[in-house]
Amino acid sequence: MTPANRLILANIWVAIVAFGLGAMMAVMQALARAGIELPFGTARLYYLSVTAHGVLEALVFTTFFIMALGYVVADTTLGRIRGMGWAWGGFWVAVVGTVMTTLAILSGTSTVLYTFYPPLEAHPTFYIGATLLIIGSWVWCGVMIGSFRAWRAAHREERVPLAMHGMLTTVAIWILATAGLAVEVLVFILPWSLGYVDRIDPIVARTYFWWFGHPLTYFWLLPAYVLWYTVIPKIAGGKLFSDAVTRVVFVQFVLFSTPVGLHHQFTDPGISSGWKLVHTFTTYAIMFPSLVTAFTVIASLELAGRARGGTGTFGWIRVLPWGDPFFSGVALAMLTFALGGFGGAINAAYAMNAMIHNTAWIQGHFHLTVGTAVALTFMGATYWLMPRLTGRAIAFPRVAAVQPWLWFVGMQCFSIPSHIAGLMGMPRRVYTGEFQGVEAAQAWIPLVNLSAVGGVILFISAMLYVGVVVGTMLVAPRGALLPIEYAESLVAVAPGPSLWDRLGFWSAVAVVLIVIAYGPPLYHLHTMTRFPSQGFSPF
C-alpha cells in the first residue's frame, strides 16, 4: 500500500468508528423518544447520548472523512501529497482531541449537545479535545495548500484540476469559519471553563459560534459536491456538463457561505433586525450555487443516461447504474437534498423561521442535508474508495447495493414526520415520550413513533455499512488497485488559469464580506451593557 493510501485509510477508519458509535447512540434516542422503556431511558442518558451522537456524526465523522477525501484528491490530481509527516502529526492531534472529547461526553460531565451553547458548561477536556480536533484539521489545511503550491510552482500555465479546485475552496471555507470558533473557544469559553472568569455571555458566544456554524455546513457539503461534479458523471458513464460553471460555483460558496450565520439567531435579542435582514440576503444568495448545481448534476446525469442508450423524457434515468452503491448512494443523496434545500429556503425567511425555529422541523432539515446529502454520499464514496485504496473488492456486494436504499427510506421515514411535527409545534431536543399528557402534544405522538421506525431502519443501514467495510478489510482477497478517475467536461476547458482559479484573491474578498456582515453586529453586541451568566450543568 502506498504511504498516501495508508494515511487516507487511517482517516477513513476514524470516521467509520465515529459513525458506528454515533449511530448506536441515535437508535437509543429514537426509541426513547417513542416512549419505549429502556434500562438507560433517563433524561440524563438521553442528553448524554444526543451530545455524543451530534459530536461523533456531525463533527468527527465528517471532519475525518473530509480530510481523507482531500488527501485522495490531492494525491490523485497533483501527483503527490507534500508534508506527509505533518499530515500524520495533524491526524494524531485530531485523534487525541477526539478521544478526549468523547471521553468527556461519556463520563457524563459534558452534556452540552453538539452546539455546546454557553451557559451550558462542559468539563474543560471537552473543549480542549474539540480544539485539538480543529488544530489537527488546520494542519490538514496546511498540507492541502502546501501540496497545491508545490504543484503550482511546477505547473504555472495549467489550471488546477477541478476536483482540487473544489477541495481548496473547502479548505478556504474551513479556515474562514474556524476563525470565529477560535474566538469563541479561546477568548470566551476556555477561560470560563478553566475558572479564570466566572461568567460568560451566551449571546456573544452564540454569535461567534454561528459565524463558524453556518459555513461549517458548507465545509460538509462541498466535498460531497466535489464527488457529484467530478466523479459521479464518470461512474455513470458520461461527462461533466461544464467545468467552467463548476469552478464559478465553488468560488461562490467561498463568497456567500462565509458572511452568514445570523439566520440561526433570528429570535436572539441584542442583534438588530437590519443585520438579520442582511444575513437573510446572503442566505438566499447561498442557495444560488446549489440551484446551479442541481441543474449541472442533473444535466451530467442525463448525458450519461443518454450515452447508456436511455431515450425519452425520463428513460435516461432508468438506465443509470442504480445497482452500483456509490451511484445509488449519491443519486438518493441528491434527491433528498432537493427536499432539504426546499426546507432551507423556509428556514431562511424571517417570518417563516418563527414557525419552525427550535422545533422538530430543524432536526428533520439537518438529517436531510448533512445526515443524507453529505453522509450518504460519503457512505457511497467508501464503496468506491475501498477497492481503489486497498485493491480489495467490496465484500457482500448485495448488502452494499441495498444499504443506500435503506438509508434513503429510513431517512424519509424519520425526517418527513419530524418536519410535520415541527410545524405542529413540537420542540426539538426535548426528552419525553408522553409530553406529560399535554393535550396539544397528543397529535405529535404518532409522528414521533413513525420517526422512531425510521431511526431503526437507519440504524440497520448504518450497521450494514460498517459491516460491509469491515468485512471488505477482513475477508475480501487483495487484487489489483482500481484507478481513481475523474469526469471530463463536455464543454471544453479553457487552457490557462483564470480569475476563478485565484482562490487567495477570492478568500480575501470573503474576509471583507465577513467584516461587513459581522463587524457592526459584533461591535454593537460588545458595546452594549452585557449580562453574562454563570455556567450550568443540569446533569
The contact set with ligand HAS (CB under 6 A) reads: 115, 217, 220-221, 263-264, 283, 286-287, 290-291, 293-294, 297-298, 301, 317, 331, 334-335, 337-338, 341, 344-345, 347-348, 353, 357, 362, 365-366, 369-370, 374
Question: Is 326 among the residues known to form the active site?
Answer: no
Binding-site partner at residue 362 among Cu ion, ligand HAS, none, CB < 5 to 8 Å by type: ligand HAS
Question: Of 61, 27, 29, nearest to 381 (Cα)?
Answer: 61
| Shortest Å distance, C-beta 348 to ligand HAS | 3
Question: Is 429 among the residues known to form the active site?
Answer: yes
Binding-site partner at residue 493 among ligand HAS, Cu ion, none, CB < 5 to 8 Å by type: none
366, 408, 465, 486: the active-site residue = 366
Total residues binding Cu ion (CB under 5 A): 1
Binding-site partner at residue 286 among Cu ion, ligand HAS, none, CB < 5 to 8 Å by type: ligand HAS
Question: Is 365 among the residues known to form the active site?
Answer: yes
Question: Is 247 among the residues known to form the active site?
Answer: no
Q: Kindly report the CA angle at 47 between 46 and 51, in degrees rounded to 5?
A: 120
Question: Is 65 among the residues known to form the active site?
Answer: no
| Shortest Å distance, C-beta 212 to ligand HAS | 12
Distance, in Å, from the CA atom of 23 to the CA atom of 44, rounded to the nearest integer, reads: 19
155, 429, 431, 435: the active-site residue = 429
Query: Which of 165, 214, 247, 365 contacts Cu ion by CB under 5 A?
Result: 214
Cβ atoms 97, 129 nearer than 8 A: yes
Distance, in Å, from the CA atom of 236 to the CA atom of 67, rounded to the nearest integer, reads: 25
367, 408, 459, 465: the active-site residue = 367
Q: Which amino acid is at 424?
A: M
Question: Is 53 among the residues known to form the active site?
Answer: no
Q: Does residue 206 belong to the site contacting Cu ion (CB under 5 A)?
A: no
What cell numbers appear for 394 in the block?
Answer: 467490496
Question: Is 214 among the residues known to form the active site?
Answer: yes
Residue burial 303-313, b: 16+ Cβ < 10 Å; e: rest: bbbeeeebeee
SS3 at position 176: helix
Binding-site partner at residue 458 among Cu ion, ligand HAS, none, CB < 5 to 8 Å by type: none
Mark the segment that binds Cu ion (CB under 5 A) among 92-100, 207-215, 418-426, 523-531.
207-215
DSSP 219-283: HHHHHHHHHHHHTHHHHHTS-EEEHHHHHHHHHHHHHHHSS--GGG-TT-TTS-HHHHHHHHHHH
| Shortest Å distance, C-beta 120 to Cu ion | 20
Question: Of 207, 177, 183, 13, nearest to 95 (Cα)?
Answer: 13
Residue (451 or 472) nearer to ligand HAS, CB: 451
218, 219, 253, 256: the active-site residue = 218
What cell numbers appear for 159 in the block?
Answer: 489550471
Binding-site partner at residue 369 among ligand HAS, Cu ion, none, CB < 5 to 8 Å by type: ligand HAS
Radius of gyration of the chain (CA): 23
| Shortest Å distance, C-beta 418 to ligand HAS | 12
Cβ atoms 408, 397 nearer than 8 A: no
Residues that bind Cu ion (CB under 5 A): 214
By annotation, the residues acting in catalysis are 214, 218, 365-367, 428-429
